[in-house]
Amino acid sequence: MKKLLCLVTTLSLSAFMLAQEPVVDTTNVEKLEEVLIKAVRVNADSPITHSNLDKENLAKRNLGQDIPILINYLPSVVTTSDAGAGVGYTGFRVRGSDASRVNITLNGIPFNDSESQGSFLVNLPDFTSSIESLQLQRGVGTSTNGPSSFGASLNILTDAISEEASGEISNSFGSYNTRKHTVKFSTGLLKDHIEIAGRLSKIESDGYIDRASSDLKSYFLQAAYKSDKTLIKAIAFGGVEETYQAWNGIDAETLESNRTYNSGGMYTDEDGTVRFHDNEVDHYSQDHYQFHWNQKFNNNWSANLGLNYTYGRGYFEQYKEDQDFDFYNFEPIVIGEETINTTDLIRRRWLDNDYYVMNTSINYKNESLDITTGSSYSYYDGDHFGEVIWSQFAGGTQQGAHYYDGNGEKREFTIFSKATYRINNEWSVYGDLQERFVDYSTSGLTSDKDPLEVDEKYSFFNPKAGISFKMNAKNQFYASYGKAHKEPNRNDFENGVTTPEKLDDFELGWRFNSQKVHLNTNLYYMNYTDQLVLTGALDDVGAPIRTTSGKSYRVGLEIDASISLLKNLTYKPNLAVSQNKNEDFITNRDGELVNLGNTDISFSPSVVVGNILEYSPIKNLQINWLSKFVGEQFMGNIDSETSKLDSYFTNDINVVYIFDKVPFVESIAISGMVNNIFNEKYVSNGYFFTYDDTWSEPDTITTIEGAGYFPQATTNFLVGASIKF
DSSP string, 406-475: EEEEEEEEEEEEEEEEE-SSSEEEEEEEEEEEEEEEEEEB-TTS-B--EEEEEEEEEEEEEEEEE-SSSE
Q: Please, what's the b/e burial string for 145-169 (b: 16 or more CB within 10 A of its CB; e: otherwise)?
A: bbbbbbbbbbbbbbbbbbeeeeebb
What is the structure's pLDDT at 541? 62
Portion of the chain with pLDDT greater than 90, in percent: 82
CA angle, 683 as apex, 678 and 689 as ends, to 5°?
A: 170
Eight-state DSSP code of residue 35: G
Count of helices and strands (H, E) across the chain = 5, 42
CA distance 558 to 694: 47
| Sheet containing 152-158: order of strands | 50-54, 131-138, 152-158, 102-106, 109-110
CA distance 586 to 492: 19
What is the structure's pLDDT at 542? 62
pLDDT tens for residues 611-646? 999 999 999 999 999 999 999 999 999 999 999 999
Contacting residues for 608 by C-beta, under 8 A, at least 6 apart: 75, 76, 77, 78, 575, 576, 628, 629, 630, 631
What is the structure's pLDDT at 716? 98
Closest to 232 in 3D by CA, of 288, 296, 287: 296
CA distance 544 to 270: 34
- pTM, entire model: 0.92
Longest distance between any two alpha carbons in the chain, whole Å = 93
Residues present in the chain in total:
725
The CATH number given to whatever domain includes residue 329 is 2.40.170.20
pLDDT tens for residues 377-399? 999 999 999 999 999 988 777 77
Whether 578 and 623 have beta carbons less than 8 Å apart is answered as no
DSSP string computed for 52-109: EEEHHHHHTT-SS--HHHHTTTSTTEEEEESSSSSSSSEEEEETTB-GGGEEEEETTE
DSSP string computed for 256-299: HH-TT---TTEEE-TTS-EEE-TT-EEEEEEEEEEEEEEEE-SS
C-alpha to C-alpha distances, 365 to 297, 419, 648, nearest whole angstrom: 12, 10, 47
Give the 3-state DSSP-derived string for 113-164, with helices as H, strands as E and coil as C: CCCCCCCCHHHCCCHHHHEEEEEEEECCCCCCCCCCCCCEEEEEEECCCCCC
What is the structure's pLDDT at 540? 62
Q: Please, what's the b/e burial string for 653-663 (b: 16 or more CB within 10 A of its CB; e: otherwise)?
A: ebebebeeeee
Which structural domain, as residue segments, surrounds residue 630?
A: 2-724
The whole-number mean pLDDT for each consecutive block of 10 residues of the chain, a chain of 725 residues, reads: 39 37 38 71 91 94 95 96 96 93 94 94 96 95 85 94 95 98 97 96 98 98 94 97 95 97 95 95 98 94 96 97 94 90 96 97 95 96 96 82 96 96 96 96 96 96 96 96 95 91 96 96 96 73 74 96 96 98 87 88 97 96 98 94 96 97 93 98 94 74 90 98 96
Looking at the structure of the chain, the number of domains it has is 1
